[in-house]
Amino acid sequence: MTKRFGIALFSVASHLTAGITILVLSLVSTDTMPAPHRVLAFTFDERVVQLPRDIELPPQVRPRTTNAPNAGASAVPVTAPAAPVIAPRDIQPETPLNVATADARSSAGVHVVESGGGIIEGVGVAELPPPVTPIRLHSGIVAPRKIHDVTPIYPATARTLRLEGMVILEAVIGVDGRVESARVLRSLPLLDEAALGAVRQWRFAPARLNNEVVPVVMTVTINFSLH
């Protein structure tokens, strides 16, 4: 107990001595204390900016008044860039066309289109018939009959080589009996052009189906022989 009391007394004496020493040193010291930090303050410049006197402002547009041509009409204020609000005297009101006349023109072949309150006239558009697709010969078709024949010219090179054989073509016969197109189905290289040139000049009495002329596709065979 006596030992603990001595330690406590020593501690109190030590702290007291340290405090007195710090106090004395602060009183004896001649150095100035540093100034504390100051919070920044924002200020506004309330001065008024004045424009130079040599700057000219654009002139202000003053409204002007126009008098209506009709008697008793009040003056209407109109600004300078505004468009006129009164129609000129020389413009006449529109008159609609006679509907009966339009119907008559429509029946006469003129295409008439109604739009809003008026009628627009235009050239009528004729509908073209759909193209007729050639059909192949069958038992119900009267086959075309050749009425103009052209013999193929035997090529000199094929004659020299004594080349013979058969060229098979597919030809399209139109409703007028002419050969519209032809192509080679079975080829002999030196004789194909001679066969095509001859067949394209043939003429036929056109084929008929139900007593009406029709285009047909038919096979043509041409024999080349030196005998």
Who contacts 90 (Cβ-Cβ below 8 Å, separation ≥6)? none
CB atoms within 10 A of CB 167: 23
Local structure of 23: helix, strand or coil: helix
- Under 8 Å between Cβ of 179 and 217: no
**145 and 219 belong to one structural domain:** yes
Rounded mean pLDDT, 4-28 = 79
For residue 223, is pLDDT > 60? Answer: yes
- What's the structural domain count of the chain? 2
Residue 16 in any domain: the answer is no
Rounded mean pLDDT, 178-188 = 95
> Nearest Cα to 179, choosing from 153, 206, 208?
206
The residue type at 82 = A
- CA 56 – CA 167 distance, rounded (Å): 99
For residue 37, is pLDDT > 90? Answer: no
**214 and 146 belong to one structural domain:** yes
For residue 55, is pLDDT > 50? Answer: yes
Q: Where residue 145 sits, what CATH number does that domain have?
A: 3.30.2420.10
- CA 7 – CA 10 distance, rounded (Å): 5
**109 and 156 belong to one structural domain:** no
* More confident of the two residues 84 and 187: 187
Q: Residue 3 is encoded by which pair of tokens?
A: 């030992």
Q: Residue 36 is encoded by which pair of tokens?
A: 């504390």
Taking only the tens place, the pLDDT of each residue in 94-122 is 765 554 454 544 444 444 444 444 444 44
Residue 47 in any domain: the answer is no
Residue 220 in any domain: the answer is yes
E-only strand ranges, the chain? 64-66, 76-78, 110-115, 118-123, 135-136, 145-148, 165-173, 179-186, 203-205, 207-209, 212-214, 216-224
> Would you place residue 159 in the very low, low, confident or very high pLDDT band (cuts 50, 70, 90)?
very high
> 85-99, 125-139, 148-162: which has the minimum mean pLDDT?
85-99
**167 and 218 belong to one structural domain:** yes
**150 and 220 belong to one structural domain:** yes
| Residues spanned by the domain of 102 | 98-123
Residue 157 in any domain: the answer is yes
Residue 46 in any domain: the answer is no
Q: Which residue has the tokens 């059909």?
A: 135
